Amino acid sequence: MSKATFRFDKADRSLMERVFEPPAVGKMSPAASLLAHGLLVAWSVIVLFPIYWVIITSFKDAAAVNQGPFYVPFLDFEPTLDAWRSQFTSDPFCDVPSIVRQVGLLAYNSFAFILSPVVTLQPMEPQICKIFLAFTNSIVISIAATAICIVVGAMAAYALVRIQYRPKVGNVGIFLGLLLLVILATNYAGVPWWIASSVALVLFFFLARTLGARFVRSLGNGDILFWIISQRILPPIVVVIPIYIMFQAVGLLDTHLALIVVYAVANLPIVVWLMRDFFANLPIELEESAQLDGATRLRIFWDVVLPLTRPGLAATTLLILILNWNEYLFAVFLAYAKVQTMPIMVAAKNAGEKGVLWWEMSAVIVIMIIPVILMAILLTRFISRGVLMGAVKG
């Protein structure tokens, strides 16, 4: 056999080959690398320019905004802090001592809420900074709703992947009929909602036990999953008025609990739909091995499944957090004083008596996007890491 070796030196290649052919296996050609980096730079400029424009606009005054466009600070225009000062000087309780006092009250109420009803919550109004109140409301509501979405949605998605459900169509019809009776009894007969709901649950239990065996037709996991995602396909404007009436009846309007529940329910289908694909791609042999070792279903889900789906869980968490943070429709209907969020503050700046003050609205937007950017930076390492590939290797 010939022992000749082949060497491909740059000197033996033509100019076209050196430009358009890769120099080695696994590397890009210079032309392809230049094109790819050029596209990435162009796309980065398109994505980052609106954020840059909002930031520099927050340091402009009326003249720089109306006589612009100006792009480069200190060259095209002289930066000013007037828009930022207006956010704190327009409210008499936005000075440093008041904000420090409000932060202390917020921390105290957070611990008191956990220990309630042993500890009494301290009121934070009327001496409270409006933008600080909106910012803290958005943080509390978004994080709480996102946590509920991820916990409940991940467990529901895993159950739909690994457990086969066969609910009877007749039992579903009985449940819907009793729900309609609860609504009629509450609205027209004056029965308290909690009494009507308790009676309906008891009746459903007995009717499902007695009549459920006679029903033949049943549903599957695919039907359940389609019903879950259909709740998100439905436009929110269709259900916002019934939700408003429902929370008004139970006295939960303008409360954190109302917005947390609505945000969680509205975005729960997205979590179930996304996490289902991540769970379905997991090798079931890992779970079977843990089950042979005596692990329970919950222990398998917590110690085996969740660590393997950490990238998908992080990406889903970031998406749901952004949706909850930017939610406007439900907030504008259900929150009108105490629990106003940052999107409502931005809308208020947009609909002020003096017209649209772009420089002041840009300052509020910058404050609004900081937590989302920090969360994205925090979760980036989980999204980009191939935890599943490393776990099943070998």
Q: DSSP of 48-110, one letter per residue? A: HHHHHHHHHHTT--HHHHHT----SBTTTB----HHHHHHHHSSTT-SHHHHHHHHHHHHHHH
Classified as helix, coil or strand, 198 is: helix
pLDDT digits (tens, 9 = 90+) for 26-75: 777 888 888 989 999 999 999 999 999 999 998 988 888 888 788 888 88
CATH of the domain at 262: 1.10.3720.10
Domain-embedded: residue 42? no
The residues, any chain, with a CB within 8 Å of residue 183's CB and separated by 6 or more, are none
The number of domains in the chain is 1
pLDDT at 267: 93
Measured at the CA of 143, the angle between CA 139 and CA 145, to 5 degrees, comes to 120
pLDDT at 183: 85
- Of 131, 125, 123, 45, nearest to 84 (Cα)? 131
To 10 degrees, the CA torsion angle through 273, 277, 278, 284?
Answer: 130
In whole angstroms, what is the distance from residue 302 CA to residue 112 CA? 29
Domain-embedded: residue 208? no
Domain-embedded: residue 171? no
DSSP 214: G
Domain-embedded: residue 170? no
- Structural contact between residues 113 and 121, judged by C-beta atoms closer than 8 angstroms: yes
The parts of the chain modelled with pLDDT lower than 70 are 1-13, 90-93, 95, 109-110, 112-128, 349-356, 383-394
Q: If you compute the radius of gyration of the chain from its CA atoms, what whole number of angstroms results?
A: 28
Residue count of the chain: 394
- Of 51, 80, 82, 56, nearest to 69 (Cα)? 56
Domain-embedded: residue 386? yes
Domain-embedded: residue 248? yes
Structure tokens at 275: 């996490």
Buried b (16+ CB within 10 A) or exposed e, 20-30: eeeeeeeeeee
In whole angstroms, what is the distance from residue 81 CA to residue 61 CA? 8
pLDDT at 278: 87
Structure tokens at 25: 């296996």
Domain assignment of residue 242, given as a range: 134-165+220-394
Domain-embedded: residue 282? yes
Domain-embedded: residue 1? no
